[in-house]
């Protein structure tokens, strides 16, 4: 059924003289897209205060027990706050930490100066309970991004800490959607009484990760439901904020075009379905049903049973948009690597030693002793190495001093990384501070060449990416949160 629909849509788009399926393989990161007018800094400052705190939220829904979530949301609302700005604006965000443990803000996918990257111990001191930290930088790229902590991620993100960042300025005048909708998918690991179950388990950490018990969207359990203008063009911003789950997203009862991946414009192509590992994003243009009362659905086909992420029901008079056409965003303005002359480096994502030396690591104290926990800074390290990059695991134990970088790169040079998954599990691999070109995947041969900050390695996959190195110390890690915490994490030093 989906294939039939894709063929129909491809035909319709080809008839409209637009890029259709045949163009996917030759797409080169959007070279044919219209250029965004160069404007530089806008002089505008978008100020925001994010208070990380424990709050009560009705995650399970009205009339059900509440949950003690950790959020940045004001007024006890469940959900992920939306920060909205224009490209070229300065973002000025103060993080206030009212949590019982240290935290920080990582701007996922945003090409920030290294000092703003929000990685405790690597790019800044952790923000301790009661402290505040001010982030301030210019937004270089439009698109769909998000914010999350970078120590004890399974615990802090798992309890709900995330905010969505939408940077406007990528829509040419002929692409003005009638509605712009954020759908952030994240499951919750809750008992029926609303309390959190363990977010990090040895069984999950050594396999695909510890899954939630309750599926959810935009901070609440269950699918999202929205009313949309009949016959209108909808821009859907889909984010996978789950610590673990790989989504495979498609649209039922409607047509969709892919506009952007990880916030960066692609040459548009019809959506059949698209895999979205943890931390990955997808921007779609979707045509709303032409009859009021009809609905289309965003569906996750990656689950054992297809799961409805959102139901969008048409209301009001038809907007009268005419035929559904492929429209394009402005091309991304990201430094393009010289692939032919790029320096090649290879990274193997594999199993760790499994070494677990809690008594040695904590000077003979039991691992749950408060002093032992302080020695480990257990927010950023675990006591076992289950995963590794190039056979090196992020260090465990009290030597919380930084390990050496995985590689040292030269700023401004082009690099081609071969990312090899030697395991039987999928790993969404994230590089901080860059938008890289995804060139190829042996397990995903139809993947169009596109820009991304996170790329999904399927089991035994071999993926090639290329980018121009920006100065700083940049994390390279799996975004299944337990995988990074149990070793699949490292960093590049770009000097």
| Of residues 124 and 152, the one with the C-beta less far from Cu ion | 152
| Residues in contact with 393: Cβ distance below 8 Å, sequence separation at least 6, in sequence order | 352, 353, 385, 386, 387, 486, 487, 488
Within 13 Å and on the Cβ side, how many CA atoms surround 343?
Answer: 11
Contact residues: Cu ion, CB under 5 A: 427, 478, 480, 483
Instruction: Give min distance, CB of 260 to Cu ion, in A.
Output: 24
Number of C-beta neighbours around residue 369 at 10 A: 13
- What tokens does 267 get? 């040459």
| Of residues 300 and 485, the one with the C-beta less far from Cu ion | 485
| Residue owning tokens 């954020």 | 182
| Of residues 407 and 480, the one with the C-beta less far from Cu ion | 480
CA-wise closest residue to 188 among 60, 380, 3: 60
Q: Are strands 281-287 and 343-351 parallel, antiparallel or unpaired?
A: unpaired
Rg of the chain on CA atoms, in Å: 22
Instruction: Give min distance, CB of 266 to Cu ion, in A.
Output: 24
Q: Are strands 67-71 and 45-57 parallel, antiparallel or unpaired?
A: antiparallel
Instruction: Give min distance, CB of 277 to Cu ion, in A.
Output: 9
| Of residues 10 and 246, the one with the C-beta less far from Cu ion | 246
- What tokens does 412 get? 């401004």
| Of residues 427 and 430, the one with the C-beta less far from Cu ion | 427
| Of residues 208 and 400, the one with the C-beta less far from Cu ion | 208
Instruction: Give min distance, CB of 458 to Cu ion, in A.
Output: 11
With contact defined as beta carbons under 8 Å apart, do 460 and 360 qualify? no
Strand partners, 134: 94
By residue count, the chain amounts to 495
CA-wise closest residue to 217 among 297, 116, 149, 272: 297
Instruction: Give min distance, CB of 210 to Cu ion, in A.
Output: 13
Residue 373 host element (H or E): helix 370-376
- What tokens does 432 get? 């901080």
Instruction: Give min distance, CB of 189 to Cu ion, in A.
Output: 18
Instruction: Give min distance, CB of 326 to Cu ion, in A.
Output: 34
Instruction: Give min distance, CB of 427 to Cu ion, in A.
Output: 3
d(CA 25, CA 337): 19
Instruction: Give min distance, CB of 410 to Cu ion, in A.
Output: 28
| Of residues 221 and 480, the one with the C-beta less far from Cu ion | 480
With contact defined as beta carbons under 8 Å apart, do 175 and 283 qualify? no
| Of residues 202 and 333, the one with the C-beta less far from Cu ion | 202
| Of residues 330 and 491, the one with the C-beta less far from Cu ion | 491
Strand partners, 186: none
Number of C-beta neighbours around residue 109 at 10 A: 29
Instruction: Give min distance, CB of 254 to Cu ion, in A.
Output: 32
Signed CA dihedral, 361, 363, 364, 365: sign only: negative
Instruction: Give min distance, CB of 149 to Cu ion, in A.
Output: 18
What are the Cα distances from residue 266, in Å, to 234, 295, 353, 396, 462? 17, 27, 40, 40, 22
| Of residues 59 and 480, the one with the C-beta less far from Cu ion | 480
Q: Are strands 264-270 and 343-351 parallel, antiparallel or unpaired?
A: unpaired
| Of residues 328 and 385, the one with the C-beta less far from Cu ion | 385
d(CA 147, CA 161): 8
| Of residues 296 and 386, the one with the C-beta less far from Cu ion | 386
| Residues in contact with 347: Cβ distance below 8 Å, sequence separation at least 6, in sequence order | 389, 390, 406, 417, 418, 419, 420, 476
Instruction: Give min distance, CB of 167 to Cu ion, in A.
Output: 28
């Amino acid at each position: 059924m989906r294939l039939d629909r894709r063929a129909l849509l491809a035909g319709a788009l080809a008839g409209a003289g637009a890029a259709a399926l045949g163009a996917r393989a030759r797409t080169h990161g959007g070279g044919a897209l219209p250029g965004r007018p160069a404007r530089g800094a806008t002089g505008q400052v978008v100020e925001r205060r994010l208070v990380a705190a424990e709050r009560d939220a009705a995650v399970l829904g009205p009339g059900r027990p509440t949950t003690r979530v950790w959020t940045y949301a004001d007024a006890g609302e469940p959900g992920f706050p939306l920060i909205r700005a224009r490209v070229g604006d300065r973002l000025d965000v103060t993080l206030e930490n009212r949590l019982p443990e240290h935290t920080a803000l990582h701007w996922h996918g945003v090409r920030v100066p290294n000092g703003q990257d929000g990685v405790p111990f690597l790019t800044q001191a952790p923000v301790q309970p009661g402290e505040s930290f001010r982030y301030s930088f210019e937004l270089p790229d439009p698109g769909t991004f998000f914010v999350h902590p970078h120590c004890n991620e399974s615990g802090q993100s798992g309890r709900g800490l995330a905010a969505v960042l939408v940077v406007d300025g990528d829509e040419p005048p002929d692409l003005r959607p009638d509605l712009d909708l954020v759908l952030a998918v994240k499951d919750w690991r809750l008992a029926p009484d609303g309390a959190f179950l363990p977010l990090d388990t040895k069984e999950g950490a050594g396999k695909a990760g510890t899954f939630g018990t309750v599926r959810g969207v935009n901070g609440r359990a269950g699918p999202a439901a929205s009313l949309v203008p009949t016959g209108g063009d909808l821009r859907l911003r889909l984010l996978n904020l789950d610590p673990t789950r790989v989504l495979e997203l498609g649209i039922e009862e409607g047509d969709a075009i892919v506009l952007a991946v990880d916030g960066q414009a692609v040459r548009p192509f019809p959506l059949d379905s698209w895999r979205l590992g943890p931390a990955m994003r997808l921007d779609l243009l979707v045509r709303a049903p032409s009859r009021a009362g009809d609905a289309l659905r965003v569906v996750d086909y990656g689950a054992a049973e297809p799961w409805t992420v959102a139901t969008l029901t048409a209301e009001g008079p038809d907007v009268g948009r005419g035929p559904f056409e492929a429209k394009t965003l402005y091309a991304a303005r990201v430094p393009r690597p010289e692939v032919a002359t790029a320096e090649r480096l290879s990274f193997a994502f594999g199993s760790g030693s499994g070494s677990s030396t809690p008594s040695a690591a904590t000077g003979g104290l039991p691992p749950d002793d408060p002093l032992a926990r302080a020695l480990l800074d257990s927010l950023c390290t675990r006591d076992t190495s289950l995963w590794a990059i190039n056979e090196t695991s992020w260090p465990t134990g009290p030597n919380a001093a930084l390990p050496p970088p995985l590689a040292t790169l030269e700023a401004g040079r082009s690099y081609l990384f071969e990312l090899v998954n030697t395991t039987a599990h999928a790993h969404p691999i994230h590089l901080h501070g860059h938008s890289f070109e995804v060139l190829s995947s042996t397990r995903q041969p139809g993947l169009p060449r596109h820009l991304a900050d996170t790329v999904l390695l399927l089991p035994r996959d071999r993926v090639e990416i290329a980018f121009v190195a920006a100065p700083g110390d940049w994390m390279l890690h799996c975004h299944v949160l337990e995988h990074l915490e149990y070793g699949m994490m490292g960093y590049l030093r770009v000097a």
